[in-house]
Structure 1
Amino acid sequence: MALSHIEADITRGQWAEPDAGKVQFGEYAAVWLEDRKLAGRTRERHESVVRLHLVPTFGTRPLSSITTAQVRAWRTSRLAAGVGEPTVVKAYQIFRAILNTAVDDELIRRNPCRVKGADSYDVPERPVLTVAEVYGVAGAIAARYRLLVLLTAFTGLRFGELASLRRRDIDTTKAALTVRRSQAEMQTGKLLDKAPKSDAGVRPVAFPSELMPDVERHLAHFAGPGQDGHVFLGPQGGQLRRSNFRDDWIKARTEAGVTAPVHFHDLRHTGNTLAASGASLRELMTRMGHSTPRAALIYQHMVNGRDREIADRLGAMIRTTRGEVDS
């Protein structure tokens, strides 16, 4: 009878080596991570998630013994323990990816990560600053960070993209800059430049010509020397880190009267929201450096001339707001 069942499974393509699923999850996860082609910072995050959130529960369990009920209970316990939902979602996504590979390797027949809704969460709406508030914070922050605030708000660039920016990446004749790389900080504190996540990340981005006086002033007083000098540096002349100016940011935000708990990254959200007015989905995707429309769709909405038009519209907002402030 047992032989008949085996023969039937083989015919249906469902037979598996009995000992295959006895491989422990922790051992398999380690090999899975080793085989993945991941950027340095991404690898650190994946390894940290596996070590802190998956191995303690599933590390010694055979792959074939993990059930959907256990996955559901694990997720519930992580959330009940106070682990942030974004972290739990990321852990679940990695867990599912590991076990998908185990299915492909024919170690298990079915992936037990089948918990509905466990792979996503509702992102809370982030605050958007007005142009006046942006200039308020820029005026209150240390002079070496003023342009960092303005460019983030009016180009929508990421912190890492601005931190890795060099003098030669800024074209003052066309009021534009070119994103070629992005800075990443490892858990050890080491800084490294990495290629953007996709080809779309390498891109020219126009900025409002109204920022030109700030750009020229910054390059004259705060940027590193030579064409390969970093545009933004820390207070002691070293490479810019988030920790270099976090306290400055919070202090400036408070002095500017911005009561909402605005994070520095919200300036990018602000910039993309402002730029979305009149921009097509493709144009916004190009400006943001995304290869898919998912993120750009959040704002409901490059070609060279149109990107300049977007920057000019932002410039008009600046002129209007600063006129109101000056009056």
Structure 2
Amino acid sequence: MMRGDWLDPEAGKLSLNDYAGRWIGERDLRPRSREEYERHMRLHVRDSLGTRALNSITAQHIRTWRTERLTAGIGKPTVAKTYRILRAIFTTALDDELIRRNPCRIKGAGQDVAEERPIATLDQVFAIAEKIQPRYRLLVLLATFAQLRFGELVALRRKNIDLDSMELKVRRATIELEDGTQLDGDPKSQAGKRPISLPHGLHEDIKLHVERFAQPGPDGRLFIGQQGGVPRRRNFNRIWKRALKEAGIPQEMDLHLHDLRHTGSTWSSRGGATLKELMSRIGHSSTRAAMIYQHADRERDQAIAAVLDELIASARNKTYS
């Protein structure tokens, strides 16, 4: 107590479940993020670690918990996400002087490397656009050539697209909560609010779509369902899968709508877009996310090797001539 490092042992006897509930409630989180945190804790922590007192949970408990999750077949990305939440909770508990040390000390446990997602060809994108319900044709094209997320697409209004300058402005994103409630809010980050220059080749597609399917008035939604409501992800997925089948997209490709964002960003990178330009276009504030699209795929790697072959041949010709 004289040194000032005494901790009240009674304060740390609060259960992890109780403290985590309070911790989530005190965070300034978007509704979707709050639900995600609560779901991870409910499914993967509550019945295993959750009943333990905060100050009784050791590094060994965390290692055992993680091993059990992975052995049970829980995906590595899910376990990594839950581990990051736990580490953040214990970091706050440390600041609150409820524990002496953060038990989440497994090197690399919070990192997850997503599997490489498929990249559609230009022909495949237009084949899907032709086979999907006409009201969603432009949605497929904008997902690819404007690299928009589903929530950003369904939140678009007429006023967000300027056909004269061929510019689209992302200002809002629609999220869907677990109970089905749909809310329009800000994009994931401040960088998500962004202008996007559109290819002029989409001019007629946009014009026809606005005339046929968009709600009237500048605030009218660009995309609405057959019943006049905001498209829901689950309902759209059924329409999407049907379009994939009719377009002849191989089932083993496992192509998602979000992969078109990845596809368009990869094409942009191949076209010479810098890292900063990619970050601005896709609405990311971190270089880590944008660098995903600057990966070296096999086709591009072979092209680089071909250029090196030419340099080698040229050098040898000079040497032996």
TM class by smaller structure: 0.7 to 0.9
Equivalent of 2:266 in 247, 253, 273 = 273
The 2-side partners of 1:143 and 1:24 are apart by 53
Corresponding residue number in structure 1 for 2:50: 59
Deviations 1:150-199 (A, max 9, x none): 11011101110011000000100011110001110011101001112222
Shift of 1:233: 0.7
Alignment partner of 1:41 is 2:35: no
Q: Kindly report which structure 2 residues correspond to 1:33-182, keeping only aligned pairs within 5 A, or say none.
A: 33-182=24-173
The 2-side partners of 1:130 and 1:18 are apart by 61
Q: Kindly report which structure 2 residues correspond to 1:200-219, keeping only aligned pairs within 5 A, or say none.
A: 200-219=191-210
Equivalent of 1:297 in 285, 291, 296 = 291
Equivalent of 2:230 in 239, 246, 257 = 239
Q: What is the TM-score normalised by the length of structure 1?
A: 0.86
SS at match of 1:55: coil
Shift of 1:14: 3.4
Shift of 1:15: 2.3
Corresponding residue number in structure 1 for 2:242: 251
SS at match of 2:174: strand
Corresponding residue number in structure 2 for 1:261: 254
Deviations 1:110-136 (A, max 9, x none): 000111221012211100011111001
- Long gaps (5+) in structure 2: 296-321
Shift of 1:70: 1.0
Q: What is the TM-score normalised by the length of structure 2?
A: 0.88
Deviations 1:242-277 (A, max 9, x none): 123212211211222221110111011001111112
The 2-side partners of 1:290 and 1:133 are apart by 26
Shift of 1:224: 1.1
Equivalent of 1:283 in 277, 284, 287 = 277
Alignment partner of 1:224 is 2:218: no
CA contact (8 A) 1:156 1:269 kept: yes
The 2-side partners of 1:235 and 1:126 are apart by 30
Q: Superposition RMSD on alpha carbons, in Å? A: 1.3
Shift of 1:49: 1.2
The 1-side partners of 2:211 and 2:294 are apart by 38
CA contact (8 A) 1:235 1:244 kept: no
The 1-side partners of 2:21 and 2:222 are apart by 40
Corresponding residue number in structure 2 for 1:320: none
- Long gaps (5+) in structure 1: 1-6, 302-327
The 2-side partners of 1:250 and 1:258 are apart by 10
The 1-side partners of 2:49 and 2:235 are apart by 39
AA in 1 matched with 2:227:
Q
Q: 1:73 to 1:163 in 2, by over 3 A?
A: same
CA contact (8 A) 1:14 1:109 kept: no
AA in 2 matched with 1:173:
D
Corresponding residue number in structure 2 for 1:20: 11
Deviations 1:62-95 (A, max 9, x none): 1111011111111111122222222211111111
Shift of 1:42: 0.7
CA contact (8 A) 2:144 2:264 kept: yes
SS at match of 2:263: helix
The 2-side partners of 1:215 and 1:179 are apart by 16
The 2-side partners of 1:73 and 1:245 are apart by 40
The 2-side partners of 1:208 and 1:265 are apart by 19
Corresponding residue number in structure 1 for 2:307: none
